[in-house]
Amino acid sequence: MITIDQKIAEYLNEWNIDGWPVGNLILCVIALVLSVLLCGLVGLEREKRGRNAGLRTHLLVGVGSCIIMIISIYGFPAAFANRDVARLAAQIVTGVGFLGAGAIMHLRSGVKGLTTAATIWIVMAIGIACGSFNFVLAIVGTLLIMLVLIFFKKVETNINKKNPFILLTVKPGTPVLERVLNISETFGYSIHNLSSEIIDDGGSKVVQIRFLVSYEGAEEKLSEYMETIRTETDAVSIRQLGH
């Protein structure tokens, strides 16, 4: 089966000026420009949200992947007829995986940067798609990615409103769990994914407890619920976290 992208590549590859195959050059320029536009679109969304890996990072990863893919196709002499053009692409996937891991931060309140790490990895895929001249795939894929980043962010926010994470800091020795369970039962809330750790807070030891609260139809009581926990446990602090 011949795709539209293959038809475009075949058409441009036939272009010659005085015997010079300029069609290949034009095809490579289209791939690079398209990778800049598509990867830049994803990077711009991350930049607007104030993420550490923003526009420039996503552009560099996407365009770099595109260049390496073009080199894999055109950068070796024709004598290497049995070369595997996918070998460099496989190395890109591995290398960018390590780069994406660097965008993930482990904080006391949880893990941040997973979405940004995923977008770094996905712009690599867009760059490979452009570099292998799968333009339609790259465009459609980018549109779907933007749909996930923008539209599904709103869906996720609505879900998180019903399942907020609470970070509670108390002094050591406080019977927190029993009191929080009793308060939650009174408000009709349920608790999940509870974890705790002892940390150093300015020279004194405190206990940080992180748990997920689930409720239905009682969102207006969340502030009252948190204030009740603060009072009953004599908490150092209590605040709501995002996922």
pLDDT at 243: 46
Among 119, 139, 160, residue at a domain's last position: 160
Residue 143 confidence (pLDDT): 94
pLDDT in tens, 42-98: 988 888 877 777 888 889 999 999 999 988 887 776 555 566 777 777 788 777 777
* Domain boundary, last residue among 160, 185, 204: 160
Range of the structural domain that residue 173 is part of: 162-241
Q: In percent, how much of the chain has pLDDT > 70?
A: 81
Are 124 and 166 within one domain?
A: no
Pick the closest to residue 175 from 227, 216, 123, 235 (CA basis): 235
Do the strands 237-241 and 204-214 form a parallel or antiparallel pair, or are they unpaired? unpaired
Same-domain status, 178 and 131: no
Q: What CA–CA distance (Å, rounded) separates 58 from 51?
A: 11
**How far is the C-alpha of 220 from the C-alpha of 217, rounded, in Å?**
8
Percent of the chain residues past pLDDT 90, beyond the cut: 17
Q: What's the pLDDT tens digit per position in 134-153?
A: 999 999 999 999 998 888 87
Same domain for 88 and 8: yes
Number of structural domains in the chain: 2
| Burial of residue 78, with CB atoms counted within 10 A of its CB: 0-12 exposed, 13-18 middle, 19 or more buried | exposed
Query: Which element (helix H / strand E) includes 165?
Result: strand 165-170
Same domain, 230 and 131: no
Q: Decide which of 160, 191, 213 is a domain's last residue.
A: 160
What CATH number is associated with residue 205? 3.30.70.260
From CA 12, how far away is CA 153, in angstroms rounded? 40
How deeply is 39 buried, as exposed, middle or buried, from its count of CB atoms within 10 A (0-12, 13-18, 19+)? buried
